[in-house]
A and B are shown apart, each in its own frame.
Chain A
Amino acid sequence: MIRRWGMAVDLDRCTGCGACVTACHAENNIPTVGSEQAARGRAMHWIRVERYWEGEFPDVKLKFRPVMCQQCDAAPCEPVCPTYASHHTEEGLNAQIYNRCIGTRYCANACPYNVRFFNFFNPRWPKPLNVQLNPDVSVREVGVMEKCTFCVQRISAAEIDAKAEKRELKDGDVKPACVQSCAAKALVFGDLSDPESDVSRLSRSSRGSKLLEEVGTLPKVAYLGREG
């Protein structure tokens, strides 16, 4: 059976700690660009925690919203890529083939969520940071786009393990780095084609909505709003 990987984000639980961002950087070999380049808008965070304030100071409420690639079923980034670097996998993931990317950056323009990032320079990891690179994830060279993959390397590893142990993947076997590191358990990942999985149950919740649903991208990430 073909799986449909999806995620649920409980905004009521998110504390805005940023552990998901750090974990994602470590897991996916995402380079840091330094303060000067970050100020120019070159920072790359496959997942970011958006901060919004409500009300006037001092009576303000702080709200957090972690945003990563929404792995849309009707992804605007895919048809515009002239080389198929951005494409849809059988399991519904929006994959990015770095080797095939020529850097038109069209996908990033088309993406309503701004979750695609461009390598403005060749990435560098000053010693000894280079030894912490994850061998399961390729590093990207200058001029290519990159984005959240739902930690596809972890999905593959879990599938291989399950196959070796001659069993089916069960709910919770795959945990992307952000989900694993979320202390508040605000992020839940799983198979949307299994109606009994945690992520399916949460996505069906009455608190659930999709980000920029009106654009018609059919995202696979559900955001659960605060109750009341």
Chain B
Amino acid sequence: MSESTPATGSMVEGLLRPLVRTSWRFYVLVAFLGSIVAAGLGTWAYQMYMGFGLTGINMPVYWAFYVTNFVFWIGISHAGTLISAILRLVNAGWRRPVTRCAEVITVFALMIGAMFPIIHLGRPWLFFWLVPYPSERRIWPNFRSPLVWDFFAISTYLTGSLLFLFLPMIPDFALVRDRSTGVRRRAYGVLALGWRGTTRQWHRLESAMQIMAIAIIPVAVSVHTIVSFDFSMAPVPMWHSTMFGPYFVAGAIFSGIAALIVAMAALRKFLHLEAYLHPVHFQNLGKLLLMMSLLWAYFVFAERLTTWYGNDSAEINVFYVTQRGSFAPLYWTMVVCNFLLPLTILSIKRLRTIAGCVTAAVSVCIGMWLERFLIIVPSLSHKYLTYTWGHYRPRPVEIMITISTFAAMTLLYTLFAKFVPIISIWELEAGEHHVPAVSPLAAPQRGLRHDPALEETRA
């Protein structure tokens, strides 16, 4: 263990406060969220025991809420790693307080999203048959199946984003270690991996983070492309489309930024991080969200227009059932949530406040969930043979499990913010002293001081 002097300054104090002090509200919140998550797990167990028929799934709508949730959460996961990687690579100074909030969303959203391919299985206890493991029967998974690609894509992305989250946490773990005693000191000592803040260690951390920031971008793009392949590889009307890859990736980044804005606003309010998460962060992310909203609308327009002109007998049925049929209320809600409302709020400077950005972001989260639902269900319920057309309504088990995933996300996020400084302290300090991004001080951060003057200029 190193003998580094604990960093001083009100900034460190402030950022470590959630780790040290626990109010009763925290326990109430954790108990509340925990009970919803437990109810969700219980519902899943009940569904397994009673049979999959408890859901609203039917012939022909064999995928619905669970697969919607899967795509939605994997989409949310693009918040993080991708955004934070890009902001790191372009060396955007304002990224410093934002990156860790974003990277955590990725890891948790992936963990939740990856549950759904298992939850939606008819026989979830056999999910490991998707894994290529050496078995005495020498049976491999079918590598032609997009679901197997999913397995590889998601496990790669989860591993990568865990590393990407963990690497910049090491100096902060060491900081907590050095400032605490007893069990806490030992626990954070293990997590800090023997960090001493030597020049060599800083160099290694720097190159590791550079490598990860570059490597994670193609991984993130490929993950949602492969998720889109789950649909576009099947000859289902409106699924079988060459534009699904980029369309899904754009949608994923779109919903990811929205989730990040919501999470940051919640952190700012509940952990009193007003000094670190400034309106400018929300404004910048709001501009990104506006750009993605326009890109999303462009994709939808391109998809809709080509389908309409193409007038393929099977596709046009799905087209009209969403455009003005039974799915039209959901469809137009989606257009308002994903395009009209964010466009109005975010393009008017006066409305681009924190409250405005959060309103737009919540609206985008709802809209993007609907978007995934509207990609999946209308196509399945209106396949080629009109005789087999069907409809779908969710049943209580699906609704309960869906709600519990949002509780699970909030719970994991709350716990994380309890045990890890949610804002990267050393990166913030490096930023205060105008050191180039990802090349922090060659010495441990012990000598750093909080500079109010710089704080002023940043705000």
Contact across chains for B142 and A109 when beta carbons are under 8 A apart: no
Beta-carbon contact of A103 and B146 below 8 Å? no
Decide: B384 and A212 in contact? CB cutoff 8 A: yes
How distant is the Cα of A79 from the Cα of B144 in the complex, in angstroms?
6
> Residues of A within 8 Å of B, CB-based: how many?
45
For the complex, what is the distance from the CA of A102 to the CA of B145, rounded to whole Å?
14
Q: Does A144 contact B (CB under 8 A)?
A: yes
A-B pairs, top 5 by smallest CB distance, nearest first, are A103-B122, A143-B122, A41-B58, A120-B53, A105-B62
Known: A113-B385, A114-B383, A120-B52. A42 touches B60 (CB 8 A): no
Contact with B along A191-218 (1 / 0, CB 8 A): 0000000000000000000001001110
Candidate in B53, B147, B148 with the most chain A CB atoms within 10 angstroms: B53
Expressed in whole angstroms, the Cα–Cα distance for A120 and B146 within the complex equals: 24
Instruction: Report the minimum CB–CB distance from A39 to chain B (whole Å).
Output: 10
Render A118-160 as a binary contact track against B, CB cut-off 8 A, 1 for contact: 1111100000000000000000001111000000000000000
Residues B385 and A114 in contact, CB atoms below 8 Å apart: yes
A81 and B142 contact, Cβ closer than 8 Å, known pairs A118-B59, A142-B51: yes
Interface residues of B, count at CB 8 A: 43
Instruction: Name the prevailing secondary structure of the B interface residues.
Output: loop
List A residues 174-192 near B (Cβ within 8 Å). Answer: none
Are B123 and A103 neighbours in the complex by a CB distance under 8 Å? yes
Q: Which residues of the other chain, B, contact A113 by a CB distance below 8 angstroms?
A: 384-385, 388
Q: How far is the CA of A121 from the CA of B383 in the complex (A)?
A: 25
Q: Is A142 in contact with B52, judged by CB distance below 8 angstroms?
A: yes
The secondary structure that dominates the A interface is loop
A50 at the interface (CB under 8 A from B): yes
A112 vs B390: C-alpha distance in the bound complex, in angstroms?
14
Complex Cα spacing A48 to B388, Å: 10
Task: Tell me whether B126 and A102 are in contact (CB under 8 A).
Answer: yes
- Minimum distance in angstroms from A118 CB to a CB of chain B: 6
Please list 18 pairs of residues, one from A and one from B, whose beta carbons are closer than 8 Å in the complex, sorted by A's number. Answer: A40-B53, A40-B58, A48-B387, A67-B387, A76-B234, A80-B144, A80-B145, A84-B141, A102-B129, A103-B123, A104-B147, A108-B62, A110-B233, A112-B384, A118-B122, A119-B122, A120-B52, A122-B51
Residues of A within 8 A of B166 (CB): none
* B127 CB, min distance to chain A CBs, angstroms: 7
Name the distance in Å between A100's Cβ and chain B's nearest Cβ. 8
Give the contacts of B114-131 with A (CB-CB under 8 A): 117, 120-124, 126-127, 129-130
B53 & A37 in contact (Cβ 8 Å cutoff) = yes
Q: Is there contact, CB below 8 Å, between A114 and B388?
A: yes
* A52 close to B (CB within 8 Å): yes
Question: Considering residues B56, B57, B145, which has the most beta carbons from chain A within 10 angstroms of its beta carbon?
Answer: B145
CA distance A51 to B146 in the complex (A): 35
Contact B58 A79 (CB under 8 A): no
Cα distance A106–B122 in the bound complex, in angstroms: 11
User: Closest chain B residue to A106 by CB distance?
Assistant: B147
Q: Are B62 and A118 in contact (CB under 8 A)?
A: yes
Using A40-B58, A101-B122, A143-B121 as known contacts, say yes or no to A215 and B384 having CB atoms under 8 A apart.
yes
Interface residues of B in 212-237 (CB under 8 A from A): 230, 233-236
- Nearest opposing residue in chain A for B391, CB measure: A41
Partner of A110, one of B127, B141, B234, B390: B234
